[in-house]
Amino acid sequence: MYSQPDHSLMARLKKTTRIWFAVYPTVLVFLTVFGDALREFPFPLGVLVSTLVVVIIVSNVTEPLVGKAFCHLGSTFRKPDLHSETAPLVNNTASTERCAPSDN
């Protein structure tokens, strides 16, 4: 029989997908722009420089942008009757907590 996946598993998969969507374009752009210059360095030094730059860009720029995009997409695809103004508010902070930058 098919059982529903664990909520924590789904949260981890969502976080992993969000991080991948942030890392992939950052690495692609970085290697496209600086790939030839990195070949001049010894391999370990080139990897050190590239990971240093990519981690800084991902953690401060692309991951927050992807998080906002996921939040926007999530609010776009929610059922309107659950979040409409006429629906009773059981927990009026749920939507803001769900899209907070610290959401993992």
pTM over 0.85: no
Query: What confidence tier does 14 reach under pLDDT thresholds 50, 70, 90?
Result: confident
pLDDT at 93: 46
Q: Tens digits of per-residue pLDDT, 22-73?
A: 999 999 999 999 999 999 999 999 999 999 999 999 999 999 999 888 888 7
Residue 35 carries which side chain, given as an amino acid letter?
A: G
User: Could you give the CA distance from residue 88 to residue 37 in angstroms, rounded to a whole number?
Assistant: 59
Q: Write out the two tokens for 86.
A: 């006429």
